[in-house]
């Protein structure tokens, strides 16, 4: 009986949030001040992403890439929030080194001070078979209601594909706005999928379309961005 209880305790210890869960809340110090998450980001999409540690080559290239794409993320109503198992002084020193290496580049999105690994453990970013003192390259895409919509994990040696992260956010926003599915390798402007009928009468309305469960339709890239921008309150 004790063995069973031990196993149950272990599974609880390593539980992590899943797609569809409400993003776990926390208050943390960052390079931009105190953050109350997700309340401070209400109404915005968020990319919460973790790094193994400061002053590492792969992490440095990712931070520059995220900063270079910051305007694009802002255009699709998305905020970036980084996490690294390190102190604020270490984060700031790393930012200073990045600035010197990249001609004065400034990292303007916040990086969480998570030296005690509290947030990393809350989000299941510590994978003990990889390391018990640093976070894996995790990505949590969280919607404006604070719901986790997608999760990605990368090993420490492999940098993230930022285009895929952007594609996922646009895809989720497109699906929400138009009620459609998105086929393999979809990019904005490609055909989308209408929902498969779930009643006999709805299936008959499809007529002689074959197969009845797979039906494409056009959706212009312009229409996607127009609707998303309006939804975000952009009247331009």
Residue-wise pLDDT for 59-106, tens only, equals 999 999 999 999 999 999 999 999 988 899 999 999 999 999 999 989
Told to judge if 10 belongs to the known catalytic residues of this protein, a careful annotator would answer no
Contact 140, 149 (CB under 8 A): no
Strand partners, 148: 142
Alpha helices in 102-213 (DSSP H): 118-122, 162-178, 200-205
Q: Where are the domains of the chain?
A: 16-158, 174-231
Distance separating alpha carbons of residues 92 and 98, to the nearest angstrom: 10
Selected catalytic residue, list 8, 10, 59, 229: 59
Q: What is the mean pLDDT of residues 133-137?
A: 66
Q: Higher confidence at residue 86 or residue 170?
A: 170
Q: What is the mean pLDDT of residues 30-46?
A: 97
Give the pLDDT band (50/70/90) at residue 195. Answer: confident
Q: How many CB atoms lie within 10 A of CB 34?
A: 10
Cα radius of gyration (the chain): 21
Alpha helices in the chain (DSSP H): 2-13, 57-68, 70-75, 88-101, 118-122, 162-178, 200-205, 221-231
Instruction: Specify the CATH class of 16-158 in words.
Output: alpha beta
Tell me if the pTM is above 0.95: no
């Amino acid at each position: 009986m004790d063995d069973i209880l031990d196993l149950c305790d272990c599974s609880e210890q390593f539980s992590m949030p899943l797609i569809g869960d409400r993003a776990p809340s926390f208050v943390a110090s960052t390079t931009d001040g105190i953050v109350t998450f997700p309340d401070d980001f209400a109404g915005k999409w968020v990319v919460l992403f973790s790094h193994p540690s400061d002053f590492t080559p792969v992490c440095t290239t990712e931070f520059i890439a995220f900063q270079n794409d910051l305007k694009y993320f802002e255009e699709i109503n998305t905020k970036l929030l980084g996490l690294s198992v390190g102190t604020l002084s270490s984060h700031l020193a790393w930012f200073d080194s990045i600035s010197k290496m990249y001609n004065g580049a400034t990292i303007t999105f916040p990086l969480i001070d998570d030296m005690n690994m509290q947030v990393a453990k809350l989000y299941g970013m510590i994978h003990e078979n990889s390391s018990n003192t640093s976070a894996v390259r995790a990505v949590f895409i969280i919607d404006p209601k604070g719901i986790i919509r997608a999760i990605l994990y990368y090993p420490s040696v492999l940098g993230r594909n930022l285009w895929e992260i952007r594609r996922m956010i646009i895809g989720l926003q497109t699906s929400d706005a138009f009620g459609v599915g998105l086929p393999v390798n979809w990019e904005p402007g490609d055909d989308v999928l209408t929902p498969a009928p779930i009643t006999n009468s709805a299936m008959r309305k499809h007529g002689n379309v074959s197969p009845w469960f797979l039906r494409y339709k056009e959706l212009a890239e312009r229409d996607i961005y127009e609707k998303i921008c309006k939804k975000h309150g952009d009247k331009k």
